[in-house]
Structure 1
């Protein structure tokens, strides 16, 4: 049997190994975040074509070989940029929807929280939703593993409102008589459309007639009315 001193030494050695592993993980995460920040700067300042791994490595102050340690390809790097934006936005929407009092309010929360998340950072919106169109056909190809990571984010945005509407419609159909998940998706599309128009006109110094707050409130009222119980037969 090990002596007490040997057991204590073994515990100390294990604690040191765990500490070293934690420091390596923190350095890895920090370097990874620096690379993603550098890639975002290159993409936004120079465009899709200029965002090569060489350009990102230079911007990050590291070798291309070092960059490959973190990201195996340009596509993998772009995916992580897009995923990071979508994950932050999806969690923000989920948290607001969770506080909604009913289905109609949950739909309004999908619209409002999406606009609130992206309106101050339209570059993030363009990266997440328009990059593939701007980059051209074939520029982005996600593999099955990447799609498996993206799809749960849809549930973060839509599932809460859809569940609330579903529970309410079991008691009494809504006025719009639209399937709950589709209704939640339509609310999300409304926010995406608002942001697309905002991003289109603002660089031209020709803002929309209505403010973000007015547009969001209009959508809130439309979806609240659609989600309200229909008339009794």
Structure 2
């Protein structure tokens, strides 16, 4: 016999209650993810400071953990080795730069403008952050001697960043280029990128010796932009 004071339908949780439970669980997971992301970024920031201060050979997980204010065990939760930590540091710099170049190229209307955007964004992004430039583009010159090697899987993560940097410019060049253009579109995009890296390398070399370049950054950027626009025919 069913007690009249308890109606059967009251024993079944309402859909509103179920949604509330699910929403709370989703909110809790989102907070946990945000905390993990912040902790990861804090460790990468600490690693960058230690690396720039001490050099890659002297950089240890203990030093990074101390800089980040966590235990070495806590650091291992996010990064399993020094090689992995250093790779993620370099990768985050390259990824952020690739995204910025991609966004700049998206505002271009012609192939020539896109090539100029690659040069301009690359130079402007790293001029104020030359340590990041050295970390991203010159780290490989010292990594091997420090015993750091990237795996095939890590290289596979880096390669798509090239597509982010070049694909927008390539599409615009192909759209406006006459059939049988003299220079292959992706090569043009790569040359524009290479010119910006070369400019930054030279800038870092001479300014470190107190002998800055005769031409300003804008002079050089504008020169490259006009040169690539002429080659592209834009």
TM-score (norm 2): 0.90
**Partner in structure 1 of residue 165 of structure 2:** 157
Partner Cα separation in structure 2 for residue 125 and residue 220 of structure 1: 21
Determine which of 185, 202, 224 is the counterpart of 2:207.
202
Separation of aligned partners in 2, 1:19 and 1:96? 34
Q: Secondary structure at the match of 1:136?
A: helix
* RMSD of aligned alpha carbons: 1.8
Answer whether contact 1:91 1:157 (CA < 8 A) is retained: yes
Shift of 1:47: 1.1
1:52 is aligned to 2:60: yes
State the alpha-carbon separation in 1 of the partners of residues 146 and 10 from structure 2: 64
Give me the whole-angstrom Cα distance separating, in 2, the residues matched to 1:191 and 1:183: 13
| Counterpart pick for 1:27 among 35, 50, 61 | 35
Alignment TM-score, normalising by the size of structure 1: 0.91
Provide Cα deviations, 1:6-50, integer angstroms capped at 9, x if missing partner: 134333222222222112111111111110010000011111112
* Residue 18 in structure 1 maps to residue 46 in structure 2: no
- Structure 2, unaligned stretches of length 5 or more? 1-7
Equivalent residue for 1:227?
232
Deviations 1:72-116 (Å, cap 9, x if unpaired)?
111111111111111111111111111112111111111111111
Q: Matched residues in 2 for 1:208 and 1:143: separation?
A: 38
1:140 and 2:163 correspond? no
Within the alignment, does 1:215 sit opposite 2:208 as a pair? Answer: no
Tell whether the 8 Å contact from 1:52 to 1:74 is kept in structure 2 after alignment.
Answer: yes
Q: Matches of 2:130 and 2:208 in 1, distance apart?
A: 11
1:38 partnered with 2:43 = no
Alignment of 1:67-216 (within 5 A): 67-137=75-145, 139-169=147-177, 171-174=178-181, 177-216=182-221
Q: Provide the C-alpha distance between the structure 2 equivalents of 1:4 and 1:51, rounded to a whole number of angstroms.
A: 61
Q: Which structure is larger by alpha-carbon Rg, 1 or 2?
A: 2
Unaligned runs of 5+ in 1: none
